[in-house]
A and B are shown apart, each in its own frame.
Chain A
Amino acid sequence: MLFNTAQFFAFFAAVLLLFYTLPWFAARKWLLLVASYYFYASWNVNFVPLLLTLTLVDYFCARWIEKSAKPRVALIISLSANLGFLAFFKYTNFLASQVTQLTGQPARVFDIVLPLGISFHTFQSISYIVDVYRGQQTAVRSLPDYALFIAFFPQLVAGPIVRARDFFRDLLAWQAPSGEEIRLGAWLMLLGLTKKMAFADRFAIVADGYFGNPVPGQWTAITATLAFGLQIFFDFSGYTDMAIGMAKLLGFHFPENFRRPYLASSITDFWRRWHISLSSWLRDYLYIPLGGSRHGSWRTYRNLLLTMLLGGLWHGASWNFVVWGGYHGLLLGVERAARLDEPRGWLRLPRLALTFVLVMLGWVFFRANGWEASQFVLHEIFLGSRGAGLLNAWQCGLALGALLMALAEDRWAVTERLARGPAWLYVPAFALMGLVLEIFGVFDQAIPFVYFQF
């Protein structure tokens, strides 16, 4: 049940209607839990026991940590369960293929289907259990409440990775959304759907066509890489907008996950704007525990690199993701060593352009099918013959329109203003956005969200 299908909208409308029809909040929580499990089971019912098992393990481990004099055992059990399942489902065949390459002996390949959203709910569980261990979060008493924290359908599949304190603040002191929040929620749902169907999917057609079978040509490789860079941004931020919008309509507040990342003036700035819930998770539960920047320069660079390498590997079991993470880790290290000041005014432009180009180059590793394909695409970008561009005029227009919208959002916080502004402004803006979706949306192909595979 993809977010961009009629089936999902019917499901969400039914949930919303029932949610506000039920008179008791306890019943509403149960409704959300049942709906979330139904949503999860609609993908693959066989993985419901896995989700339940992890939920039970983490729930009881957290209680154990809080009561026990030796909480470390419970922490290790919980982390082992979470990381063990993640490693088994995500990395078994990758490890087997590496063993085969190293030893020359064929290793057994397992027919493993990746459970939906496992990377996201595992990280969410880990953050909870570590916070309880650190004493920064009390263990949740109610099992259904905890189960809802893990399975809540707007963020189950691809985040944002919500911290327990934020979720339970909303759940335990739930308040009906205000008028502004309702308007903002509806707007974000439409905006997210438009980003996904009218922008991401249009660019996906170009990028998939090229990266499925890269062909020679400099301009071809550049435009295909640009198309993927736009696809992945619109795809993931579109999903996140929808998730945040849905949550708002249900009275929950998810953290911001994207803040116009392609307007970043450095790679450091980029990671403050891109997949914010993941980068802050990596900072809090990996970079800082590794020592962060507290033990001298070389340890700091090592920690940065390790964090980004593991962050890359989190995205998928492939050396390409590791290289992508390492590439960003190196760039972060270089920026740290250079101690660049934040540029102001027009001086930002060249830095902004350089960051954009560096990020786009990184996407080649992320998207290409394997190391050789990455090398080929990069070779074409730098040394290829001219070739033909893959983006036509109106696709360039879409990209330009998106840039203008991002600049407007950056300067005037258009979304917030619309939500709070008068109806005579909100209604036509909504209609125009709907028209963009209608005219440019890809309706005949259900192109899955990129981050669903992680």
Chain B
Amino acid sequence: MPQTRRAAVVTILASLASVFLLDAAIFRTGFYLRWMEPDSSTGLTEYRYRAELDRQKQPGKLVLTFGDSRFAYLPRVANQFTAESGFVFRHAGTAGSSARDWYYLMRDLDPEARQYQAVVVGLDDLEDEESLVSRQDDPRSLHYSIGRLGLGDLKEFALSHDSPTYQWAAVRGGILKGIVMQEDVHDLLLRPRERAQSARLNWGGWAGWAYDYDDEERSLAGLAIDWKTRAMTYPPGMDPGYKKMFNETLLRKATPSTGRRAAYQRKWFGRMVEHYRNSETRFVFVRLPRGPLSPLEDVPLNPSSSVRVLAKRPRVYLGAPLRYASLERPEYFKDPLHLNRAGAHAFSKMLVDEVRELIGPPR
């Protein structure tokens, strides 16, 4: 069948478009979500997204929370106090995620900015202390957000990375989502039967299991630090590798601020707050318990930190920096960063109280 050059060029353009359309049919329509593994970064975010959309259909004055793994409160425990507080707590944060990922999830969960009484963000620091890893160039971010990114988000999302390598990865993955979901697809091809079974189970039960989750009981009882000599006493039976990790985490000196984290938080918390500018939803930043042992000195107060500046806006609240200092005890932690079951239970109750105090009763 002879082809004119023009027809050939049109065919090639149509072919390129068809690559995008096929990807879109599989990964943008929700078709693949049914098969996705909830233990993956993308899967976890997408399961949370679906669970929260389902929850919005039920009555209740919802408070949506975001944070990483350190924001270890348990909505199930917090909601035992709904009768007193009036609020139903829901958690949409995931381990390892950060403000950029929360923004896209929050935007899609509440496009009209009227679903929630409040949005609460849990932070390990209110002073813009630098984190050990670059928030801007965190490769996990693409995986957390990929399900939520539309073509219109591509430019902003890509340019929010500093490194051209990550910017390109974001553009590429944003156009062809299958590239980002490769590992999940490979796993699906490797064990299709188990994955189909897992999908059937998770599709129906994941939201309930996640809500009913309870933390581990193990604690760090016995952990102590002599801050003068910086000598650490470890809980009995701790192996040397774990001791090293404790030293590196608990005796770590504050990383000097370079302004990178401040810029990151200003941008993405700014976007989150802006989303609710004309709505009744309140925005709350709380500072999480810092660790199993209160440090000798806290990070110096930064009056112009990103969250302090945002907290000057109407309907934006900032929790007290040391509100949870009473939880900074080895008995309440399972490792140098994360609360254990007792800690999570105590924290959940205290969080409800603090949110209620800051924003008042439901409207």
Question: Which residues of A pack against B, CB within 8 Å?
Answer: 6, 176-180, 182-183, 186, 392-394, 397, 420-423, 426-428, 430-432, 434-435, 438-441, 443-444
Which of A6, A420, A432, A443 has its CB near the most chain B CB atoms (within 10 A)?
A443
Out of B15, B26, B190, name the residue touching A426 (CB < 8 Å).
Answer: B15
Q: Chain B residues near A426: list those with CB within 8 A.
A: 11, 15
Q: Which of B16-33 contact A (CB under 8 A)?
A: 16, 18-19, 21-23, 26
Which of B169, B172, B178 has its CB near the most chain A CB atoms (within 10 A)?
B178
Interface residue tally for chain B (C-beta within 8 Å): 30
Known: A183-B12, A439-B178, A439-B182. A178 touches B5 (CB 8 A): yes
A435 to B26, CA, bound (A): 10
Contact between A186 and B185, CB atoms less than 8 A apart: no
A-B pairs with beta carbons under 8 Å apart, 14 shown:
A179-B2, A179-B5, A179-B8, A182-B5, A182-B12, A423-B11, A430-B16, A431-B15, A434-B15, A434-B18, A439-B178, A439-B182, A439-B185, A443-B182
CB-based A-B contact count at 8 angstroms? 89
Known: A394-B186, A444-B169. A434 touches B8 (CB 8 A): no
Known: A394-B189, A431-B18, A431-B19. A438 touches B178 (CB 8 A): yes
Q: Chain B residues near A435: list those with CB within 8 A.
A: 19, 22-23, 26, 178
Known: A179-B2, A397-B189, A432-B22. A427 touches B15 (CB 8 A): yes
Q: Chain B residues near A393: list those with CB within 8 A.
A: 189-190
A443 to B175, CA, bound (A): 14
Known: A394-B186, A438-B179. A430 touches B3 (CB 8 A): no
Out of A186, A392, A421, A438, name the residue touching B23 (CB < 8 Å).
Answer: A438
Interface residue B176 (Cβ < 8 Å from any Cβ of A): yes
Q: Chain B residues near A180: list those with CB within 8 A.
A: 2-3, 8
Chain A: CB-nearest residue to B26: A435
Contact between B1 and A183, CB atoms less than 8 A apart: no
Known: A180-B8, A397-B189, A438-B179. A421 touches B19 (CB 8 A): no
A431 to B17, CA, bound (A): 8
Chain B: CB-nearest residue to A433: B19
Interface residue B4 (Cβ < 8 Å from any Cβ of A): yes
A183 to B3, CA, bound (A): 9
Interface residue B9 (Cβ < 8 Å from any Cβ of A): yes
Chain B: CB-nearest residue to A184: B8
Contact between B1 and A434, CB atoms less than 8 A apart: no
Contact between B189 and A179, CB atoms less than 8 A apart: no
Q: Chain A residues near B2: list those with CB within 8 A.
A: 178-180
Q: Chain A residues near B186: list those with CB within 8 A.
A: 394, 439-440
Q: Which of B260-300 contact A (CB under 8 A)?
A: none
A303 to B87, CA, bound (A): 89
Out of A427, A432, A443, name the residue touching B169 (CB < 8 Å).
Answer: A443
Interface residue B251 (Cβ < 8 Å from any Cβ of A): no
Q: Chain B residues near A183: list those with CB within 8 A.
A: 3, 8, 11-12
A186 to B7, CA, bound (A): 13
Out of B1, B8, B16, B169, name the residue touching A182 (CB < 8 Å).
Answer: B8
Which of B2, B7, B8, B179 has its CB near the most chain A CB atoms (within 10 A)?
B8
Contact between B189 and A430, CB atoms less than 8 A apart: no
Out of B5, B12, B172, B179, name the residue touching A186 (CB < 8 Å).
Answer: B12
Interface residue B14 (Cβ < 8 Å from any Cβ of A): yes
Q: Chain B residues near A179: list those with CB within 8 A.
A: 2-5, 7-8
Contact between B18 and A430, CB atoms less than 8 A apart: yes
Q: Chain A residues near B9: list those with CB within 8 A.
A: 182
Out of B1, B14, B23, name the residue touching A427 (CB < 8 Å).
Answer: B14
Task: Write the nearest CB–CB distance from A242 to chain B, whole angstroms.
Answer: 15
Q: Chain B residues near A420: list those with CB within 8 A.
A: 1, 3
Contact between B21 and A431, CB atoms less than 8 A apart: yes
A431 to B178, CA, bound (A): 13
Interface residue B242 (Cβ < 8 Å from any Cβ of A): no
Mask: chain B, 204-234; 1 = CB below 8 Å from A; 0 = not: 0000000000000000000000000000000
A177 to B3, CA, bound (A): 11
Q: Chain A residues near B185: list those with CB within 8 A.
A: 439
Task: Write the nearest CB–CB distance from B51 to chain A, whole angstroms.
Answer: 27
A427 to B18, CA, bound (A): 7
Contact between A178 and B19, CB atoms less than 8 A apart: no
A293 to B172, CA, bound (A): 55
Chain A: CB-nearest residue to B177: A438
Chain B: CB-nearest residue to A392: B190
A426 to B16, CA, bound (A): 11
Out of B3, B11, B21, B168, name the residue touching A178 (CB < 8 Å).
Answer: B3
Task: Write the nearest CB–CB distance from B355 to chain A, whole angstroms.
Answer: 41
Task: Write the nearest CB–CB distance from B154 to chain A, whole angstroms.
Answer: 14
Chain B: CB-nearest residue to A431: B18
